[in-house]
Amino acid sequence: MIRRFNMFNLTSLTFGLAFLYLPLLLVVIYSFNDSRLVTVWGGFSTKWYGIVLNNEAYLAAAWITLRIAFVSATLATVLGTLSAVVMVRMGRFPGRTLFSGMIYAPLVMPEVVTGLSLLLLFVAIGLDRGFWTITIAHATFAMCYASVVVSSRLASFDRSLEDAALDLGCTPFSAFRQVTLPVIAPAVISAWLLSFTLSLDDLVIATFTSGPGSTTLPMKLYSSVRLGVSPEINALSSMLIGIVTLGVIAASLINRRQERRQQQDTRAAAAAA
């Protein structure tokens, strides 16, 4: 049992984490810079946040991005969970190899290729590009990630729980709904969160599949970033960093508290026996 860090390990961790966090920290610090010159400190100010929050274009882009992320994550989670069930539970069926290929290929496909191919499809079938084309594109590549997340949980799921439900009178469908789904729910939620984040974060595929009037936040951010560093982008980035950080920390705290309570319960039960 290791209780302390040794010097070497402490040094690597410090440098590693500094490398990961310093760049983001600089962005956050300079988002409070009063000066327009991004590298010269001109005093503390929150004015850039006000400017960003009053910028219609950013707000519109943020709103459309959130809507796309919500719808596509939901679609991706449903489709991904279905695919996971097919992959883990269905055994052999005609076309299984093709199916597993189609599940795994998008994970390693360069975004530019995915984006290009979907755009070409939408052009070929004459679908107007906009909200729905981006949503479909995001759902398609996110469902593969969702499927991987749910599959790995499903693979370790104790099949006898389902057998027990069948034995007690459930149909296969109601056994899945009443027993399997609640038990794998944390994985399904993770899959949704991952899909949601992937969609929020995506620039390349959205750029290919978007149309007029459907500019997402990453697309807006990208066109601003190309013009260089600006305090507005610092403020916008800091807000996004803040939201994500709070979300992830909250999720992990809840998770850890549940785990700890479960451990305590188990220990108490063992002691009482």
Partner 1 sequence: MNFHDPASTAAQAEPVSALTQDRTPLIRFENVTKTFGSFTAISDLNLNIREREFFSLLGPSGCGKTTMMRLLAGFEEVTSGRILLDGQDLTGIPANRRPVNMMFQSYALFPHMSVAKNIGFGLKQERWKKSDIQDRVDEMLALVQLEDFADRKPHQLSGGQMQRVALARSLAKKPKVLLLDEPLGALDKKLREETQFQLMDVQDRLGLTFIIVTHDQDEAMTVSSRIAVMKAGKLLQTDTPARIYEHPASSYVADFIGNVNLINVELAGMDGELALARWDGGTRLAIRPQPEDVLTPGARKTLVLRPEKIHVTKDQPAEAPNVNRVEGTVEEISYTGSASTFLVRLDGGQLIRAQEANRLLTSRREVDWNDRVWLSWRAGACVLVDA
Partner 2 sequence: MSTSGPRRLLILLPYLWLGLFFLVPFLIVIKIALSDSVTASPPYAPTFSLDEGLAGLRAAFAALDFENFVWLAEDGIYLKAYLNSVKVAAIATLLTLMIGYPVAYAMAKAPQDWRKTLLLLVILPFWTSFLIRIYAWIGILKNEGFLNLTLMKLGLIDQPLAIMHTEIAVYIGIVYSYLPFMILPLYASLERIDGRLLEAAEDLGCSAFAAFRQITLPLSLPGVVAGCFLVFIPAIGEFVIPDLLGGSGTLMIGKTLWLEFFSNRDWGVAAAVAIVLLTILIVPIVLFQRHQQKHQEELG
**Could you say which residues in the range 80-99 bind partner 1, by CB under 8 A?**
none
Give 150's Cβ-side CA count (13 Å radius): 34
Query: Three-state SS across 118-152?
Result: HHHHHHHCCCCCCHHHHHHHHHHHHHHHHHHHHHH
Distance between CA 17 and CA 22 in Å, rounded?
Answer: 8
Question: Residues for the chain: how many in total?
Answer: 273
Distance between CA 189 and CA 198 in Å, rounded?
Answer: 14
Alpha-carbon distances of 54 from 16, 50, 60, 152, 234, rounded to whole Å: 37, 6, 11, 44, 15
Query: Smallest distance from the beta carbon of 254 to partner 1, in angstroms?
Result: 16
For position 43 contacting partner 2 by CB under 8 A, the verdict is no
Q: In the block, which residue shows the tokens 């749910």?
A: 150
Distance between CA 81 and CA 189 in Å, rounded?
Answer: 11
Among 50, 120, 252, 265, binds partner 1 (CB under 8 A): 265
Among 62, 64, 79, 206, binds partner 2 (CB under 8 A): 79
Query: Smallest distance from the beta carbon of 56 to partner 2, in angstroms?
Result: 21
Q: Which is nearer to partner 2, 46 or 252 (CB)?
A: 252
Among 18, 29, 102, 166, binds partner 1 (CB under 8 A): 166
Contact partner, 102, from partner 1, partner 2, none, Cβ < 5-8 Å per class: partner 2
**Could you say which residues in the range 227-256 bind partner 2, by CB under 8 A?**
228-229, 233-234, 237, 240-241, 244-245, 247-249, 252, 256
For position 143 contacting partner 2 by CB under 8 A, the verdict is yes
Interaction mask 82-111, partner 2, x per CB under 8 A = xx-xx--xxx-x-x--xx--xxxxx-xxxx
Query: Smallest distance from the beta carbon of 239 to partner 1, in angstroms?
Result: 37
Report CA 184 to chain centroid distance, whole Å: 18
For position 254 contacting partner 1 by CB under 8 A, the verdict is no
Q: Which is nearer to partner 2, 259 or 265 (CB)?
A: 259
